Amino acid sequence: MRSTLGTRLLMGLLTALSLLAAACGNDDDAAVPPPTAVDDGHDHDHSHDHDHDHTTLMEVDYEPVPTIELRTHLDPKSGVNLEVISTGFTLAPERASTEPVAGEGHFHIYVDGVKLRRLYANWAHVDLQEPGDYEIRVEMSANNHAPLAVNGVKLDDTAMVTIPGLNDGVDTVPDATIEVEVAEGKPVDGVQRFQIDTRDTVTIIVTGDTTDELHIHGYDLVVGFAPGQPGMITFEADIPGIFEAETHHHGDLVMELEVR
């Protein structure tokens, strides 16, 4: 009896040790994440990137080919109002982030190369507080956010905006101050030629009854102005010659700058 009882106790102990070892081995296996779990996570991220692809161009292979034009209007209070004119394109905010459909989508706004936000309408306000020059670009995008393109060229438009008060870092008293008044894009006192010397610091102040921009050719400077909001720019006239200045939207000659 003792021998049989001892044998049973020994067998039971061996069985328990075997089960314990097996249990420990299973715990070790469970502690290691299955490789497929990690892979699935990456696949999900790639799928998300594909659905929200802002870099891969989507070629337009349908008619009519969409067009886009950006117009900027200085806001009388602050910043600039954007007017986006498009043809052959339907804004579909209700289908944003879904599969692309020919001829529909939305816009993306970029300021100085940095994406600001999506645009689901033809008008938008950009609140630019600091005086200075800004590059604003509006891009036409498909529902899945891919930029639309024709022959590899994006369907977008860019405008330079100058918030009044631009000083270009010149803190000295200008050598010459030029003031022009514009009515419906044309100079009130007619086209005049202003003469200054090379290396002079000149300040140009422009007022007008409409929202527009004065483009100074040669120096490639743009001065924005609006009703009740004169535009001003100060710069060093370091390029000799005769340069025309005209309104950007109206396209009329306003003045000539002769740098001697």
pLDDT of residue 25: 39
For residue 89, CA distances in Å to 86, 104, 173, 214 come to: 6, 5, 51, 31
Check pLDDT > 80 for residue 16: no
List the CATH number of the domain containing 240. 2.60.40.420
To 5 degrees, how large is the angle CA 55–CA 60–CA 65? 130
Residues 185 and 219 in one domain: yes
Count of CB atoms within 10 A of residue 88's CB? 15
Count of CB atoms within 10 A of residue 146's CB? 20
The range of the structural domain enclosing residue 83 comes to 58-162
Is pLDDT larger for residue 30 or for residue 256?
Answer: 256
Residues 181 and 153 in one domain: no
Check pLDDT > 60 for residue 154: yes
Residues 151 and 180 in one domain: no
Check pLDDT > 50 for residue 34: no
Residue 207, in any domain of the structure: yes
pLDDT of residue 165: 62
Residues 250 and 180 in one domain: yes
Q: How many CA atoms lie within 13 A of 39 on its CB side?
A: 3
Check pLDDT > 90 for residue 168: no
- Cα gap 22→28, rounded to integer Å: 10
Residues 202 and 245 in one domain: yes
Residue 49, in any domain of the structure: no
Chain position carrying tokens 């370091």: 238
SS3 for the chain is: CHHHHHHHHHHHHHHHHHHHHHHHHHHHHHCCCCHHHHHHHHHHHHHHHHHCCCCCCEECCCCCCCEEEEEEEECCCCCEEEEEEEECCEECHHHCCCCCCCCEEEEEEEECCEEEEEECCCEEEECCCCCEEEEEEEEEECCCCCEEEECCEECEEEEEEEECCECCCCCCCCCEEEEEEEECCEECCCCEEEEECCCEEEEEEEEECCCEEEEECCCCEEEEEECCECEEEEEEECCCEEEEEEECCCCCEEEEEEEC
**What does the pLDDT average to over 62-74?**
92
- Cα gap 148→103, rounded to integer Å: 10
Residue 34, in any domain of the structure: no
* Gyration radius (Cα) of the chain, Å: 34
Residues 120 and 203 in one domain: no
Check pLDDT > 60 for residue 207: yes
Residues 203 and 234 in one domain: yes
pLDDT of residue 256: 94
**What does the pLDDT average to over 163-174?**
58
pLDDT, tens digit, for every residue of 44-55? 333 333 345 556
Residue 239, in any domain of the structure: yes
Among 104, 131, 162, the domain-final residue is 162
Residues 144 and 196 in one domain: no
Q: Would you place residue 14 in the very low, low, confident or very high pLDDT band (cuts 50, 70, 90)? A: very low
Least confident of 86-100, 131-145, 172-186: 172-186
- Number of structural domains (the chain) is 2
Among 162, 185, 214, the domain-final residue is 162
Q: Would you place residue 33 in the very low, low, confident or very high pLDDT band (cuts 50, 70, 90)? A: very low
pLDDT of residue 22: 40
Q: Would you place residue 32 in the very low, low, confident or very high pLDDT band (cuts 50, 70, 90)? A: very low
Among 140, 162, 184, the domain-final residue is 162
Residues 153 and 199 in one domain: no
Residue 151, in any domain of the structure: yes
Say which amino acid occupies 81. Answer: N
Q: Would you place residue 162 in the very low, low, confident or very high pLDDT band (cuts 50, 70, 90)? A: confident
Q: Residues 6 or more apart from 196 whose CB is under 8 A from it?
A: 175, 176, 202, 237, 257, 258, 259, 260
Residues 158 and 187 in one domain: no
Say which amino acid occupies 58. Answer: M
- Cα gap 93→111, rounded to integer Å: 22
Mean pLDDT, the chain, whole residue set: 79
List the CATH number of the domain containing 150. 2.60.40.10
Residue 170, in any domain of the structure: no
Count of CB atoms within 10 A of residue 63's CB? 8
Check pLDDT > 80 for residue 150: yes
Is pLDDT larger for residue 120 or for residue 230?
Answer: 120
Residues 148 and 236 in one domain: no
pLDDT of residue 12: 52
Residue 51, in any domain of the structure: no
Give the rounded percent of residues in the chain with a pLDDT score beyond 90: 47
Residues 103 and 187 in one domain: no
Residue 253, in any domain of the structure: yes
Q: Would you place residue 191 in the very low, low, confident or very high pLDDT band (cuts 50, 70, 90)? A: very high
Bridge partners, residue 85, by sequence: 69
